[in-house]
Each structure stands twice: as C-alpha cells, then as structure tokens.
Amino acid sequence: MDLMTNLMPAGAEIFMLAMACVILIADLLIRQSGRQVTYMLVQLTLLGCSMITVGTHEHGISYAFNNMYVDDLMSDVLKLLTYLAVSMMLVYSRQYLIIRGLFSGEFMVLALFATLGMMVMISANHFLTLYLGLEVLSLSLYAMVALQRDSAVATEAAMKYFILGALASGLLLYGMSMLYGATGSLELGDVAIAIQSGNADKNLLVFGLVFVVSGLAFKLGVVPFHMWVPDVYHGAPTAMTMLIGSAPKLAAFAFVSRILVEGLQPLVQHWSGMLIILAVASMAIGNITAIAQNNLKRMFAYSTIAHMGFLLLGLLSGGIEGYGSAMFYAVVYVLMSLGAFGMIMLLSREGFEADTLNDFKGLSQRSPWLAFLMLLLMFSMAGVPPTVGFYAKFSVLNAVVQAGHIWLAVVAVLLSLIGAFYYLRIVKLMYFDAPESHTPIVVGSDTALLMSVNGLGVLLLGLLPGTLMSVCAVSVQQSLLLH
C-alpha cells in the first residue's frame, strides 16, 4: 500500500517515461514514410497523461517519495496546460518539420522527455527534484536546438544555449548548497521552517539566495541574464523555438513560485527587492530592443524577456492576487506565443522561413482570415482590449497596486506602451502594405482549425476571463499558501 501511495501521484510521469522509451524503440522499426505513426503515438501519450493526471487528482495536497514530490491542484492544472501546449506545438510544426526533413522520431521523443522534465519541475517539493526536472528539460532542449546538424546557425545557437545553461545550473546548485548549509535541509517546507525559526545562518542564507535568484533569472531569461534568448530563438528551427517559448514558461512559473514562495517565503524582503530590479530591467531592455529588430523571431525573443519581467511583477506582489495573476499571465502568454510562432510556420515553405517583418506585408490580401487571427494575437500581446492579453496585464498591475508599489505599476504601463509599437507595426504591415510575394499559402486542415481556435480563443478568453482567472487563483490558494 505504501508503494502505491508513492506511485499514484506520479502516475503521469511514470507513464510518460515508459511511453517515451517505447516510442524510441518502436521508431527504429518504422520507415521514414511511416513517421505519422510515431506522431500519433506521441499525441496519444499526451492524451493518456492528461487522463491519468485528472484520474489521480485528489482534493488537498498529497506527498510522495518522502515529501520530495507534491501533487496539488496547481500542479495538476499546470500539467494539463503543459500537455495541451506541447500537443499544439506538434500539430503546428508537423508540416514545417516534414518540409525540412526534421520530422523524425528523435524530435518527438525529445519533446516527450522535455515534457517529462516540465512535469517533474511542476510537482517538485525538494531542491534535488527541482534540479532533476530542470536538467531533464534543459538537456532535451539543447539537443532539439542542435537537431538540424547541417545548419551552422542552429549549431551555434545550441552551443550558446548549452554553455550559458550549464553556467545557470551551476549558479543554482551553488545557491542550493548554501541554503542546505544554512538550514540543514533540502525539502522546501523544512527550509522555510528553519529560516522562520531564526536558527539559520543569516549571511549564508542571503548569499545562497542571490545565487538561487540568479539561476532562476537565467532560466526565465530576464535581464541581465537574457543573452541566450535572442540567439537561441533566432538560430533554432522555428518548431524548436516554439517549444522553448511556450510550455517551459508554465514549468518556470511553478519552479520559481515553489522555491521563492514555498521555500524562501521568510526571506521575502530580500528577494522581492531583487525581483523588482530584474522586472524593471527586463521590461525596459526587452521592449526597447525589440523595436530595432527586423527578424520576427528575435523580436519575439525580446518581447518574451519583457513578458517575463511582467510575470515577476505578479510574483513580487505576493498574496493570492499576485501569485494568481502571475499564473494567469504565464498561461495567457503561452497561448499567445503558440499562435504567433504557429503563424510564422504556416507562412514558411520549402527553402523559405517567414521570419522577417517583410514576410507579413500584405497578408490581408493573401489570406484575410490568417491576417485577422494574427491581428488578434498581436493585439493580445500588446495588451489591447478586448483580448485576453489586456486582462492578463491588468490583473498583474492590479496586484502590484494592491501591494503598494504604485510607482512600479506606472513604470510597467509606460514600458508596455513602448511594447505596443512593435506589435502594432506588424498589423500595419499586414493591412496597409503591398505583399512582396503572391505565393499561395497552403495550410493543412488540422493546422488551420487549431490556428482558428487559438486566435479566437485569445478573443473569447478576453471577453470571458473570469473562469480561467478563478481557476488560477483557487489553485494557487490551495497549493502555495497552505504550507
């Protein structure tokens, strides 16, 4: 019985690992022409994981493996959203990968292992489990970026990503070892209790905290640890960029909130000041640098840095409003990011990447429907009502004001106005400029349907944001603040 109480909460992870190994072996026996079988197996694996996650959900919080692993409402919600994001990424990227000869078992198995890493990060309740999940995710992503072996740009991006990622992991581990030295425990709850009791060495704690926050900032890609983001986004094939820019942000939110909110809550006065600096610097440099970019993927990279700065604003506001709004922002950002990169892949064709601003010129004349969907996505990223991006920004700013940081909210609004310029520039190019190419846009029926759902979902969630917002608030309330 004791074994089952350990295994049940981690059922989805065990199933994911088993299926990834099965698909890896099965793919050896499948001819190149039968890759669709591997693709369907991966989609079925994600569906199976979501059914197990829903089936093993229990009210309250359950721990497994000597409290190293936690199963709560927040982890279940984030995992379900992660499966959905990875599944959408696979649908969007299928045609793109087939054209470029990258539609292989390796890509799909690495996507599953990356998802496994995200699942472990989301449910970790111990520094070692957190680190294990992070490394499984990171190593899978390094390999995926380098998958296009004959591309010098992709190989260079993978090298930069690997070296800087290893540096970030070292910082994180060093900080965790200091926290362990100060508190005598690696379990998040015990670390919080040790700090609260006042028995821990204060100087060592603050030193450890600086290293941990630096490592977290690296993984989120916020200023000044953002050097890898533009190069990796630009250099990697768009399908890999889409994966890096979407689902891992959900895992990163869980990762940061577990460490800072659950483990290091008593040190809040130290880390909230650090987050303010990171958030303001990220929003400023991200938004201002994005204006100068002609390459769409680089532009989205800098906009990601700005969005992650906004996410940190929610986390430093504290309380259910702050953490709930940060989770809501992460979910909304992933939805918008999937649609934006999906659109780049839809317009790409053999020997041609539609990743510059000029490639979107006159899109409304070539395909009015796709132009309208892109308009919704860009309005949402800029935070224009009635899209969900506006509501996500508003909920974070509301939490910041309630926390008493009114000056911070004013700065965030001003920097968001700068950000609106480069999103609205794409809308201007689509609707007011003449197209440079009249090549017909060929879109598969499944991709077209998903893109329509994605674009209209951004609008619908903006008109009716209450359900998703309350799900985020309730899951945060039941998971983070009970400890």
Q: Angle of helix 238-245 relative to helix 319-347, nearest 10 degrees?
A: 170
Rounded to 10 degrees, the C-alpha dihedral 293/426/141/307 comes to 80
The per-residue pLDDT for range 379-412, each reduced to its tens digit, is 999 888 888 989 999 999 999 999 888 999 999 9
Instruction: Give the Cα separation of 435 and 230 in Å (integer).
Output: 27
* CB count in 10 Å sphere of residue 318: 17
* CB count in 10 Å sphere of residue 245: 28
Instruction: Give the Cα separation of 217 and 293 in Å (integer).
Output: 23
How high is the pLDDT of residue 225? 84
The per-residue pLDDT for range 338-363, each reduced to its tens digit, is 999 998 888 887 667 777 888 888 88
How high is the pLDDT of residue 351? 64
DSSP state letter for 354: -
The per-residue pLDDT for range 164-215, each reduced to its tens digit, is 889 999 999 999 999 998 888 888 888 888 888 877 778 888 889 999 999 8
How many structural domains comprise the chain?
1
Instruction: Give the Cα separation of 14 and 219 in Å (integer).
Output: 25
Domain of 191 in residue numbering reads as 2-479
The residue behind tokens 């999103």 is: 423
CB 462 within 8 A of CB 391: yes
Measured on CA atoms in the order 325, 326, 328, 329, is the torsion positive or negative? positive
Instruction: Give the Cα separation of 258 and 480 in Å (integer).
Output: 7
How high is the pLDDT of residue 49? 92
